[in-house]
Amino acid sequence: MSQHAPASGIYLDNNATTMVDPEVVSAMLPFFTEQFGNPSSLHQFGNQVGRAIKQARQQVQTLLGAEHDSEIVFTSCGTESDSTAILSALKAQPERREIITTVVEHPAVLSLCEHLEKDGYRVHYLKVDNKGRLDMQQYMDLLSDRTAIVSVMWANNESGTLFPVEEMALLARSAGVLFHTDAVQAVGKVPIDLKRSAIDMLSLSGHKLHAPKGIGVLYLRRNTRFRPLLRGGHQERGRRAGTENTASIVGLGKACELAMVHMDDETTRGRALRDRLERGILDAVPHCFVTGDPGNRLPNTCNIAFEYIEGEAILLLLNKLGIAASSGSACTSGSLEPSHVMRAMGIPFTAAHGTVRFSLSRYNSEQEIDRVIEAVPPIIAQLRKLSPYWGEDGPVENPEAAFAPAYA
Amino acid sequence: MWDYSDKVKEHFFSPRNAGAVDDANAIGDVGSLSCGDALRLSLKVDPDTEVIEEAGFQTFGCGSAIASSSALTEIIKGMTLDQALNVSNQDIADFLDGLPPEKMHCSVMGREALQAAVANYRGEEWKDDHEEGALVCKCFAVDEVLIEETIRANGLTTVAEVANYTKAGGGCSACHEGIEEVLGRVLADQGKAFDPAAAQPQPAPAAAPASAPGGKLTNLQRIRRIENAIEAIRPNLQRDHGDVELIDVEGKNVYVRMTGACVGCQMASVTMDGIQERIVEDLGEFVRVLPADAPRLAASV
Ligand SMILES: Cc1ncc(COP(=O)(O)O)c(C=O)c1O
Ligand code: FES
């Protein structure tokens, strides 16, 4: 597989997006040319495309372990799926005005919830502990007949920490509350069997599993009360109007099929590579630590906090060596605060600005990992030399006091 | 990620004057760990002339914070303290061929470190009066604190007024929702309600180009319209692998050249008629469309 990887550069930012698998690309190509028909059309041009979409729907169904293929609704992205799920639950149950979610959700859920608060909805944000874990007692106490929906992510995009969504969905069901999970980071990386779960709705996004950007799915359990976000045509049985993005749907189907094939490899070889990277860096660099819950996280993700330096500077130096990763520092996002996920876990400011996320895929090789292990320590040392919080070979004593600006 | 200038990258990858100056007699500390930005500037100042002989920086921060620190030390070396105090954050940004709006605060930090260092040298107390909020308007790098203070100080009530006072919102207008939120909050504090209907009147659509006196088109306007009409037809012709080009306009005669599949095509004259019809319609006056090689004199009016 690695012969398909980009010629130069080491890509360790697969939680941001993934390379489209070459097999996915070739499955898609005919749908730009001879298979251009509109699947709704009666003639042969449309017919064939309709069949291809049906097949893709089944491929997604298989990966998710959904009971019916009609539970798969194609959307334009993970964000749309999240919005559709939450807004539908509110619209369908106007008497219920509360939402339960977590403080570490992706902005696709968090920003929407904050916006809904302005419209008078009450949102409960479950807190996490220093390893990013939820307090199940707090959750159970909040479930009530005022709750319209619970929306909790399956895996966190920054730390990779997994939430016990299957258990939480069962609890919601027994309280008579709808349960949605943003599984954008989990689908394709961990086994999912929805027919055996109590999850009512699930979001996924194609570009996180080697399908293209701009295609997503909302899984909608049969008999779940639903109100569409986009009304218009009868596409997706009227649950998501708009002419289908046929090429991308076919691509996503293929990507789901491939994810099934590769899942074992990614959880064994992939995990081993991730662990090798993590060990290598932790052994060579002083004053750094893994964030999140190392024992319970995605097999491809490792998030390391480097103290007393700033993440964007690390990324720029890594990028110069052709290594791609990402950071939760405030400066990479243009905001004033470092990542809300790191802050929620109580990671001190001395480290929160210096978090770097490495996220692997099946295309990464051992040689690549070893090159990264070699590259990181000198970069960290170089930046610490510039830092006013760093002395000869360790942090200055009591950094906050030693460096005491006129304001703080 | 960020669209950093080459100069920013260069100063980040090879910072000048990194590290503390050994026998510094002026030190300025600004920022803090919680902000994710901190800078210690150390200077060696000649006590007789107040000339900055050496400058060094230690920075905890992103690429542009390090580049701004490096730029600052380069700019102020050799200046007197008074000259250095005239260096603005814009000077630092300009030295680096510009910074992205989200990163302008890095240059502000540089200027403040300088003020703090000078105060330290002169035994004065330096007090920072600058508070920073979340960036609201990216076009003009205006943050929430500035918008809020300006609204309060001037009793502003509309997005248009905010744009007049702070520039925020005067560009792409994507930040208007954010500005309305600040307005709503401040006005609510004062027991008033934000009224979006009182917002700015939509600017009138750009007026049609002024015509020559008497309502007639000027020659230039006339030719532009003819050009536009022809441009609008070209995609149709190109679809059939043909094309048309405007060659000249002489009084009521418009000369065009047909190319590609249109040449010698049975339909060429029909096409010409179509073009003529279109131009007449757009121009509001009669013209005749002729092939460029038509004998001019014969055709002229
Ligand atoms: C957890 C999570 N949810 C939602 C999204 C948004 O997906 P999309 O980019 O397809 O809208 C992402 C991707 O960044 C994500 O990581
Ligand atoms: S962001 Fe404010 S006008 Fe563009």
**A338 neighbourhood in chain B, CB within 8 Å:** 36
Kindly tell me if the per-residue pLDDT of A393 is higher than 80: no
User: Containing H/E element for B37?
Assistant: strand B37-45
The CATH architecture to which A263-400 belongs is Alpha-Beta Complex (3.90)
Q: Which residues of chain A are in CATH 3.90.1150.10 domains?
A: 263-400
User: What is the pLDDT at residue B151?
Assistant: 94
pLDDT single digits (tens) B91-123: 999 999 998 877 888 888 899 899 999 999 999
Q: Is the CB of A185 under 6 A from ligand 1?
A: yes
Distance from C-alpha of A115 to C-alpha of A127, rounded to nearest angstrom: 19
- Among A196, A194, A243, which Cα is nearest to A218's? A194
Residues of B annotated as catalytic are 35, 106
Kindly tell me if the per-residue pLDDT of B213 is higher than 50: no
Q: What is the mean pLDDT of chain A?
A: 93
Q: How confident is the model at residue B299 (pLDDT cuts 50, 70, 90)?
A: very low
In A115-255, beta strands by DSSP E: 122-126, 147-151, 178-182, 201-205, 216-220
Q: Is the CB of A108 under 6 A from ligand 1?
A: yes
The residue to mutate among B102, B140, B165, B181, having the most atoms of ligand 2 within 8 angstroms of its beta carbon, is B140
Distance from C-alpha of A102 to C-alpha of A150, rounded to nearest angstrom: 9
- B/e letters for A44-65, b = 16+ CB within 10 Å, e = fewer, are eebebbbebbeebbbbbbebbe
- Among B64, B61, B40, B46, which Cα is nearest to B116's? B40
Percent of chain A with pLDDT over 90: 87
CA atoms within 13 A on the CB side of A152: 30
- Among A74, A73, A360, A61, which Cα is nearest to A214's? A74
- Tell me which residue has its CA closest to atom 5 in ligand 1: A78
- Atom of ligand 2 minimally distant from the CA of B163: 3
Distance from C-alpha of A91 to C-alpha of A84, rounded to nearest angstrom: 10
Distance from C-alpha of A314 to C-alpha of A137, rounded to nearest angstrom: 39
Helices (H), A266-308: 271-284
Residue carrying structure tokens 């308007």: B137
Distance from C-alpha of B232 to C-alpha of B274, rounded to nearest angstrom: 12
Distance from C-alpha of A56 to C-alpha of B161, rounded to nearest angstrom: 53
Q: Is the CB of A84 under 6 A from ligand 1?
A: no
User: What is the pLDDT at residue A336?
Assistant: 62
Gyration radius of chain B over CA positions: 31
Q: Is the CB of A162 under 6 A from ligand 1?
A: no
Min Cα–Cα distance to chain A from B129, Å: 9
CATH of domain A22-259: 3.40.640.10
Q: By three-state DSSP, how is residue A13 classified?
A: strand
User: What is the pLDDT at residue B217?
Assistant: 76
**A109 in Cβ contact with A182 (< 8 Å):** yes
Residue type, B87: V
User: What is the pLDDT at residue B209?
Assistant: 45
Min Cα–Cα distance to chain A from B23, Å: 17
- Atom of ligand 1 minimally distant from the CA of A207: 10
**A328 in Cβ contact with B78 (< 8 Å):** no
Percent of chain B with pLDDT over 90: 43
Kindly tell me if the per-residue pLDDT of B250 is higher than 90: no
Name the pTM for this structure.
0.79
**A133 in Cβ contact with A126 (< 8 Å):** no
Kindly tell me if the per-residue pLDDT of B208 is higher than 70: no
User: What is the pLDDT at residue A87?
Assistant: 98
Q: Which of A117, A336, A337, A398 to mutate to test the interface with B (most CBs of B within 10 A)?
A: A336
- More confident position, A80 or B248: A80
User: What is the pLDDT at residue B261?
Assistant: 66
**A332 neighbourhood in chain B, CB within 8 Å:** 1, 62
Average pLDDT on B239-245 reads 77
Q: How confident is the model at residue A316 (pLDDT cuts 50, 70, 90)?
A: very high
Average pLDDT on A42-70 reads 94
Min Cα–Cα distance to chain B from A391, Å: 11
Q: How confident is the model at residue A3 (pLDDT cuts 50, 70, 90)?
A: very low
User: What is the pLDDT at residue A29?
Assistant: 97
Q: Which of A309, A318, A335, A353 to mutate to test the interface with B (most CBs of B within 10 A)?
A: A353
Kindly tell me if the per-residue pLDDT of A127 is higher than 80: yes
- Atom of ligand 1 minimally distant from the CA of A105: 1
Average pLDDT on B160-171 reads 90
Ligand nearest to the CA of B177: 2
**B223 in Cβ contact with B249 (< 8 Å):** yes
For each of the domains in chain B, give its residue range(s) and CATH number, in order of start: 6-121 (3.90.1010.10), 135-199 (1.10.10.1100), 207-291 (3.30.300.130)
**A315 neighbourhood in chain B, CB within 8 Å:** 1
**A152 in Cβ contact with A101 (< 8 Å):** yes
User: What is the pLDDT at residue B199?
Assistant: 55
Average pLDDT on A301-311 reads 95
How many helices (H) and strands (E) chain A has is answered by 14, 13
Q: By three-state DSSP, how is residue B70 classified?
A: helix
Average pLDDT on A357-379 reads 97
Average pLDDT on B267-290 reads 76
Which region among A205-209, B59-63, B265-269 has the lowest average model confidence (pLDDT)? Answer: B265-269
**A4 in Cβ contact with A22 (< 8 Å):** yes
**B101 in Cβ contact with B77 (< 8 Å):** no
Q: How confident is the model at residue B129 (pLDDT cuts 50, 70, 90)?
A: low
Q: Measured in angstroms, how far is the CA atom of residue A79 from the centroid of ligand 1?
A: 6
Q: How confident is the model at residue B267 (pLDDT cuts 50, 70, 90)?
A: low
| Backbone torsions φ then ψ of B285, nearest 5 degrees | -150, 160
Q: By three-state DSSP, how is residue A84 classified?
A: helix
Length of chain A: 408
Kindly tell me if the per-residue pLDDT of A137 is higher than 90: yes
Contacts of B65 (CB under 8 A, 6+ apart): A310, A313, A331, B37, B39, B59, B106, B109
pLDDT single digits (tens) A188-246: 999 999 999 999 999 999 999 999 999 999 999 999 999 999 999 999 999 999 999 99
Q: How confident is the model at residue B265 (pLDDT cuts 50, 70, 90)?
A: low
- CB of A339 less than 8 A from some CB of B: no
Q: Measured in angstroms, how far is the CA atom of residue A114 from the centroid of ligand 1?
A: 17
Distance from C-alpha of A98 to C-alpha of A142, rounded to nearest angstrom: 10
**A160 in Cβ contact with A278 (< 8 Å):** no
Strand-pair partners of B289 = B254
Min Cα–Cα distance to chain A from B174, Å: 16
**B35 neighbourhood in chain A, CB within 8 Å:** 330, 336
- More confident position, A283 or B204: A283
Min Cα–Cα distance to chain A from B31, Å: 6
The residue to mutate among B138, B164, B180, having the most atoms of ligand 2 within 8 angstroms of its beta carbon, is B138
Q: Measured in angstroms, how far is the CA atom of residue A334 from the centroid of ligand 1?
A: 19
Distance from C-alpha of A50 to C-alpha of A37, rounded to nearest angstrom: 9
User: What is the pLDDT at residue B236?
Assistant: 72
Distance from C-alpha of B172 to C-alpha of B139, rounded to nearest angstrom: 7
Q: Which residues of chain A are in CATH 3.40.640.10 domains?
A: 22-259
Neighbour order of strands in the sheet with A326-327: A288-290, A301-306, A355-359, A326-327
User: What is the pLDDT at residue B207?
Assistant: 44
Kindly tell me if the per-residue pLDDT of A24 is higher than 90: yes
**A252 in Cβ contact with A72 (< 8 Å):** no
Cα-Cα end-to-end distance for chain A? 51
Could you tell me the two tokens for A4? 């398909």
Residue type, B184: G
DSSP state of B19: S
Q: How confident is the model at residue B2 (pLDDT cuts 50, 70, 90)?
A: confident
User: What is the pLDDT at residue A5?
Assistant: 46
Q: Which of A119, A310, A383 to mutate to test the interface with B (most CBs of B within 10 A)?
A: A310
Which region among A86-90, B180-184, B277-281 has the lowest average model confidence (pLDDT)? Answer: B277-281
Distance from C-alpha of A32 to C-alpha of A23, rounded to nearest angstrom: 15
Q: Is the CB of A79 under 6 A from ligand 1?
A: yes
- Among A149, A150, A151, A146, which Cα is nearest to A96's? A146
- More confident position, A298 or B242: A298
Q: Measured in angstroms, how far is the CA atom of residue B158 from the centroid of ligand 2?
A: 15
User: What is the pLDDT at residue A1?
Assistant: 42
Q: How confident is the model at residue B195 (pLDDT cuts 50, 70, 90)?
A: confident
Neighbour order of strands in the sheet with B26-32: B26-32, B37-45, B52-60
Of the candidates A335, A336, A387, the beta carbon closest to that of B58 is on A387
